[in-house]
Structure 1
Amino acid sequence: MKFLRSLIVGVAAFACVAAHAEDPSQDLSFGIISTDASSTLRQRWQPLIDDLNKKTGLHVKAFFATDYAGIIEGMRFNKVQIGYFGNASAMEAVDRSNGEVFVKTVNANGEGGYYSLLITNVNSPYKTLDDVFKNTKNLNLGWGDPNSTSGTLIPGYYLFAKRGVPVTPASFKTLLPSSHEANLLAVVNNKIDVATNNTMEVDRLQQQHPDKFAQVRVLWKSPLIPSDPLVWRKDLPQATKDKLRDFFINYAKTDPHEKEVMKNLTTFSGFVASSNAQLIPIRQVALFQQKQKLEADKNLSDAERKTQMAALDAQLNALNSEAAKQQ
C-alpha cells in the first residue's frame, strides 16, 4: 500500500513536470535587436529578464541574432515570442511575423521618442550638411541595419531622399552598413567620414565616456521618432500577455533596484502601454519612399506606374485617416 501511494505521487509529480515543460506559455524567447554586440546587449538586458522571470513565473530567455532580420524571422517561425524592436523592425514583425505592439519605452528625459542623427568626428573637414552633400562621392558613410529605424529608414527619407541622393554604393566612396555601436566608435576613432546614429546611443556615450563623446559632432537631427516598442506574438495565451503587460507597465516605477536596471540598460526609465498605432508615422515614411522609387523606375510602363502609384496613394490615405483618429 505504501509502495502504491509512492507510485501515485511519483506519477502525479512527473505529469506536472511534463505538462509544464509542454506549456508554451511558460517558456518564451525574448528577441533583442542587434544595436550592439551580443555580449554587450546580454549584459544590459539580463537583469531585466531575471526580474521578469522572478515576478511573473515565466521562463524567458534572451535571444540574439547578428542582424535585425534574425529577430524578425525568429518571431515569424515562433522561435521568438516577445521582442525589443525599433519602429521599422517592429513594422516588419507586425506585418510578417504575427506580431503586435503592446508597450513602448519611456525616455528618462520625458520625451516621447528619440532622434536619428548624422554624426562626424569633431576634427572632420565636414562641418555642415552642405559640406556633406557637396562631397558625397568622396565620403565613407556608416549606414545602419536595413531594418533600423534611426539608422536607415528615417535618415534615408528625411535626410537623403529629400535632397535627391539615393543611399547606394554608387552615391558614396564607400557605404558601410553596421550597428549603431560600431558606427559610433568608427566616428569617435575617425575611421569613417560620417555615420547615421541616434540620440539614445550618443547620450549613453556622453554618460559613460564623456571623453569619447567630445569627439562627436552632430550634423543633422531628425523629426521625433516614437520610442522603441516591445512586440509579442498575437497568438500568445491571454494569461501570458496579461503577465507580460503588467510587468512592463509597472516596472521601475518606484523600486530602486529596477530603476538602476533601467539606468544601466539604456536611456529609458520604463515602459507604457502602446499599440500598432504608433507605427503609423513609420508606415507613412516607408510608403513615401516606395512612391519615390516608383517615380524613378524606368523599367515600368506609364500604365504600370499609374496603377502601383494609385495603390500606394490608397494606403497612404487610409493611414492618414487612421492617424487623424489617433489625435
Structure 2
Amino acid sequence: MKSARLLLAGAALAACFVTQVVRAETLNFGIISTDNSSALKQRWQPLIDDLNKQTGLDVKPFFATDYAGIIEGMRFNKVQIGYFGNASAIEAVDRGNGEVFAKVKYKSGEAGYYSLLITNVNSKWKTVDQVLKNTHDINLGFGDPNSTSGTLVPSYYLFAKNGISVRSDFKSVLPSSHEANMLAVVNNRVDVATNNTDMVETLRQTHPELLEKVRVLWKSPLIPSDPMVWRRDLPQATKDKLRNFFDHYAQSDPREQAIMAGITGMSGFEDSSDAQLVPIRQMALFQKKQQVQNDEHMSDEDKKVQLAALDQKLSQLNKVAAK
C-alpha cells in the first residue's frame, strides 16, 4: 500500500512538472489594437508561425479591442509577450510585471516614428495654427488613452505646449484606433485627427488612393520605436529562445524581410530595455504637472504637495536619463 501511495505521489508530481513545462512553453503574444484584429492577424501571423517553427514554442496571437486589454492581459498572465507602444509599455512594465527586451527597426533607417495631426485634403483647416486658434469649432479624432502617438505625444507637444486642453477646448473629442481615425478623416467624419507615420505607411501599401485624401498638418519630434515586452517571470530558457529569434529574424532571409516590411515598414528587431521608456515617462510627468498647475478645483496646498512629488519623480528620471 505504501509503495502504491508513493507511485501515485510520484505520478502526481510528474504530472505537475509536465503541466508547468507546457505552461512555460505556451505563450500568448499580445498585439496592441492599432488596427482591426483581422488586419493585425494577417500582418503578424506569418512572423508568429516562424517564431513557433524556429523556437519550438507554442505562441498564439492575442488581440483586444483597446490597448488596455493587452496591458491587463499581461498583468493577469493571459499575455506573456507583446508588441506595445511606449506609453502602453510603461503600463505593462509598471502594472503587468513586464520588461522591455527588444524594439522594432524600420526599413527607412529611422530610430523611431512620428505622431501626426491629419485632416482631409479638402478640409477648410489648412494649417495647424488654424486648428490651434479654432479648437471650439473642431471635432477631434483622438487616440486610445494608452497610445503614445495618438494621445500622449500630441497632448504634450501639440496641445499642452500651446495652452490647449484636449478635454475642454475642442467641440468634441472622439477617441479611437489609428485606423478608425484615418478612415474618419478620409470620409470627413471628423475635422482633424491624431495619427502616426506607421499608419500612413500601412495606407501607402494597402490603399494608396485613400492616402491622397489626407493632409498632414503637424509632425511630432521622433518617438522611440515600439518596444517588445515579455513578462519578467518567464523561464530563462524561454527568454533565451525568444531573444535569439528576435535578434536574428529578417537579418538576411528575403522572405522574413518581406514579412517584416508588411508590418508597417519594419525591417527587424534589436535589443532594448526599460531605459527606452525614460523619455516617455518624462513627457507624461511634465503633462501631469501642467494638469495639476491648471486645475482650478485643487487647493494651493494640494497643488504644492502634488507638484513636489512630481518634481521628485522627474529628478529621479533625469538622473537615469543622464546615465
Q: Please name the residue that 2:3 is paired with.
A: none
Structure 1: tracts of 5 or more residues without a match: 1-10
Q: Please name the residue that 2:103 is paired with.
A: 104
In structure 2, how many angstroms separate the alpha carbons of the residues matched to 1:257 and 1:295?
A: 53
Residue 287 of structure 2 corresponds to residue 293 of structure 1:
no
- 1:88-136 CA-partner distances (Å, limit 9, x unpaired): 0000000111000000000110010000000001111000012112221
Q: Please name the residue that 2:141 is paired with.
A: 142
In structure 2, how many angstroms separate the alpha carbons of the residues matched to 1:16 and 1:65?
A: 35
**Candidates 168, 175, 179, aligned match of 2:177:** 179
Q: Please name the residue that 1:253 is paired with.
A: 251
- 1:53-100 CA-partner distances (Å, limit 9, x unpaired): 100011010110110000000100111100100000000000111000
Q: Secondary structure at the match of 1:265?
A: coil
**Candidates 238, 242, 245, aligned match of 1:244:** 242
The letter of the residue matching 1:163 is: N
In structure 2, how many angstroms separate the alpha carbons of the residues matched to 1:266 and 1:19?
A: 41
1:279 CA drift (Å): 0.3
Matches within 5 A, 1:113-124: 113-124=112-123
Q: Please name the residue that 2:279 is paired with.
A: 281
1:15 CA drift (Å): 9.7
Matches within 5 A, 1:1-327: 19-23=17-21, 24-168=23-167, 170-325=168-323
The letter of the residue matching 1:118 is: L
The letter of the residue matching 1:324 is: A
State the identity %. 67
Q: Secondary structure at the match of 2:24?
A: coil
Q: Secondary structure at the match of 1:305?
A: helix
1:300 CA drift (Å): 2.7
Structure 1 residues 32 and 137: alpha-carbon distance in aligned structure 2, compared to 1, 3 A threshold? same
The letter of the residue matching 2:310 is: L
CA contact (8 A) 1:20 1:26 kept: no
1:149 CA drift (Å): 0.2
CA contact (8 A) 2:31 2:83 kept: yes
1:18 CA drift (Å): 7.5
1:223 CA drift (Å): 0.5
The letter of the residue matching 2:70 is: I
Q: Secondary structure at the match of 2:262?
A: helix
In structure 2, how many angstroms separate the alpha carbons of the residues matched to 1:209 and 1:15?
A: 56
The letter of the residue matching 1:258 is: E
Q: Secondary structure at the match of 2:166?
A: coil
The letter of the residue matching 2:313 is: Q
Structure 1 residues 304 and 18: alpha-carbon distance in aligned structure 2, compared to 1, 3 A threshold? closer
Q: Secondary structure at the match of 1:145?
A: coil
CA contact (8 A) 2:104 2:270 kept: yes
- 1:200-240 CA-partner distances (Å, limit 9, x unpaired): 11122123322111111100000000000000000111111
Q: Secondary structure at the match of 1:118?
A: strand
Q: Secondary structure at the match of 1:25?
A: helix
Instruction: Please give the TM-score of this superposition, normalised by the length of structure 2.
Output: 0.93
> How many equivalent residue pairs?
314
1:17 CA drift (Å): 8.4
Structure 2: tracts of 5 or more residues without a match: 1-9
CA contact (8 A) 2:87 2:152 kept: yes
Structure 1 residues 135 and 298: alpha-carbon distance in aligned structure 2, compared to 1, 3 A threshold? closer
CA contact (8 A) 2:101 2:272 kept: yes
In structure 1, how many angstroms separate the alpha carbons of the residues matched to 2:69 and 2:283?
A: 23
- 1:278-316 CA-partner distances (Å, limit 9, x unpaired): 001100010001101111223333222212111111111
Q: Please name the residue that 1:3 is paired with.
A: none
In structure 2, how many angstroms separate the alpha carbons of the residues matched to 1:268 and 1:69?
A: 24
CA contact (8 A) 2:201 2:264 kept: no
Instruction: Please give the TM-score of this superposition, normalised by the length of structure 1.
Output: 0.92
* Further displaced range: 172-181 or 21-30: 21-30
